[in-house]
Amino acid sequence: MKTFFSDLRFVSSLITLAVRLTAVFTVLGLYELSMFLLPKEIEFVSEIAVLTCLVFGVFGILPIQEKVSGFLKSTFVSEYLSDDPGSSRLAHRRFDSEGVIKNVFPELVRLTTSNFGRLAILRNDLTHYDLYTYAHKKQRKVNTMEGINPRAALLTYILNKRSGAMIGEPDQNKIINEDFVSLRANFILPFVFREKLFGFLAVSNIPKDNVRHELGFLAGKCALAVHNHILSSQIAENKKYRKELENAGKIRKFLESSEPPMVGDIKIDLLSQEPGELVEFFQGPSGDFYFVFLRLSVTNAVSVLALCYILGTLYASWLNGEIKNVLQLKALVEDNLKEVSWTERYDLAVGMVEKEGGKISLRYVGKNFKMFRSSNPTRNLASIGWENMETPSKDPLILSWNDRDIISFQNIGHHT
């Protein structure tokens, strides 16, 4: 017989019992109603009433019973603590990690008979774990600067301990023992799904052997819930990026020419562009032209979405007249990279071509850029960390990345 380890499990059993008893009494009431309504002249009245109740009970009462039971359990009991398959499916569809934190976490602590426990949940950005505590029937989020580092030795250790890790095991080193002490834990249960750690439970008591099976079952549900929550967040982000791409495409189509502009006597030529690169030109209110070259170190679906998002925000800032100078343009791109949580390396060059003076201002991030005259390709005219100023002439001025020519600037006017 299954033990009632908590109030919520007891409530779940009471709901099941109440719904089933209600179904039985409903069928009995239907039988009495059938006996009352059927004409007494009909032969085998009781047999017909029984057959009617059986058909209605199997095809009507049982499905309704399951729906009502699932609804009540999802209302009064966490879906993750319910044995009802419908409730479990409902929990997974909701992608509700908040339900894990508010309802399942306290039950896991109570199951271990501990008075204190901590819960770590992987963030949506997959970089750190948020930490929560449960003590004396109160729950709160622990205020930490950066959460728990995913490269911590403790997380690597418990990833291979599906049934839980106890303090003082022979394969623990000093650092892991210190982690146990800092968490005030004697037992840690990992939440693992597809060989990835989505969180863990740390409690002050070591649970009994007959309780660990319950813990492992619920830990699997918790891992799946957090995984689905993160997945749904990523889908929402992708929709956001696709919307930005659509907006950028519309603006590009109706407001911008696909060819590099002429700025006074300065002719600009786009020499090359590869997948995973963003090259754009924006005209300022005074007729000056700004340009952006952004190259991300990784070319995949995520990087393309990131570039689309940055392109959309650049055009939005341009339309709002927010681009005032080269330094501001550089900060705008870098801030958007942080906003989309881009942690990989990138190369960025931003600049401005003056309409009146014909001068070029350039700032760049990365060690692969070079600006040189066509007649002297070995001499680099640009330095990192500075706003470099050059004046194009008949001899084209070329910006290159990784020894590949990207943009050329040439003054095709008359010179004295």
Q: What is the 3-state secondary structure (H, E, C) of 66-97?
A: HHHHHHHHHHHCCHHHCCCHHHHHHHHHHCCH
Asked whether 29 and 18 are in contact (CB, 8 A), the reply is no
Exposure of 169 in the CB half-sphere (CA atoms within 13 A)? 16
pLDDT per position as a tens digit, 263-292: 778 888 888 887 778 888 888 777 788 889
Nearest CA to 109 out of 15, 184, 16 is that of 184
Distances (CA, A) of 303 to 93, 294, 349: 28, 11, 17
Q: What CATH number does the domain located at 95-230 have?
A: 3.30.450.40
Which pair of tokens denotes residue 406?
Answer: 């990207």
> How far apart are the C-alpha atoms of 64 and 59, rounded to whole Å?
9
The pLDDT score that the predictor gives to residue 350 is: 92
Residues 82-107: what's their mean pLDDT?
Answer: 65
Is the per-residue pLDDT at 184 higher than 50?
Answer: yes
Asked whether 380 and 372 are in contact (CB, 8 A), the reply is yes
> Where in the sequence of the chain do the CATH 3.60.40.10 domains occur?
256-411
Architecture of the domain spanning 256-411: 4-Layer Sandwich (3.60)
> Where in the sequence of the chain do the CATH 3.30.450.40 domains occur?
95-230
264 burial (CB, 10 Å; 0-12 / 13-18 / 19+) is: middle
> How far apart are the C-alpha atoms of 354 and 346, rounded to whole Å?
27
> How far apart are the C-alpha atoms of 188 and 216, rounded to whole Å?
11
Residues 164-172: what's their mean pLDDT?
Answer: 87
Q: Which of 204-208, 273-277, 343-347 is predicted least confidently? A: 273-277
pLDDT per position as a tens digit, 358-367: 788 898 888 8
Q: Which residues contact 330 (CB under 8 A, 6 or more apart)?
A: 348, 350, 363, 365
Q: Which of 69-78, 254-263, 375-384, 396-405 is predicted least confidently? A: 254-263
> How far apart are the C-alpha atoms of 391 and 266, rounded to whole Å?
10
For 204-254, where are the E strands, in sequence order? none
Containing H/E element for 266? strand 266-270
pLDDT per position as a tens digit, 117-163: 889 888 877 778 888 888 876 766 665 545 576 678 888 899 888 88
Is the per-residue pLDDT at 352 higher than 80?
Answer: yes
Is the per-residue pLDDT at 375 higher than 70?
Answer: yes
pLDDT per position as a tens digit, 2-11: 444 455 667 7
Asked whether 135 and 115 are in contact (CB, 8 A), the reply is yes
Instruction: Name the pLDDT band for 200 (thresholds 50, 70, 90).
Output: very high
Which pair of tokens denotes residue 192?
Answer: 């693992």
Find which of 26-30, 259-263, 275-279, 399-403 is predicted with most confidence, using mean pLDDT: 399-403
> How far apart are the C-alpha atoms of 398 and 26, rounded to whole Å?
85
Nearest CA to 191 out of 214, 220, 225, 227 is that of 220
DSSP-H helix ranges across 153-208? 153-159, 174-182
* Cβ atoms within 10 Å, residue 386: 10
Mean pLDDT across the chain: 79
